[in-house]
Amino acid sequence: MADKKKEKGAKTPRNVESIKKLYRMEGSRLVRQKRECPKCGAGVFMAQHPDRVSCGRCGYTEFKKA
């Protein structure tokens, strides 16, 4: 029988348009658009909801004050 294991391919890079949403240029430096998670560290951005900001990796959540 043939081996039915699926071959692992290289991970595809992020879409260029999604990267443009995370950063913007100010002069010669990059500025982050979204907040980063204080628990996970640099490179892990937090999702912005109408009433909260949350991390999809660790679940850390901060609620916005009304």
User: Which residues in the chain land under pLDDT 70?
Assistant: 1-14
Residue 43: CB partners within 8 Å, gap ≥ 6? 36
Q: At 54, is the secondary structure helix, strand, or coil?
A: strand
Burial class (CB in 10 A: 0-12, 13-18, 19+), 46: buried
Specify the pLDDT at position 6: 65
| pLDDT value at residue 23 | 85
Q: Would you state the pLDDT for residue 1?
A: 54
**Looking at the DSSP assignment, which residues form a beta bridge with residue 23?**
32
pLDDT of residue 49: 93
3-state DSSP assignment of residue 10:
coil
Q: Residue 16: what pLDDT?
A: 78
pLDDT digits (tens, 9 = 90+) for 23-39: 888 999 988 888 899 99
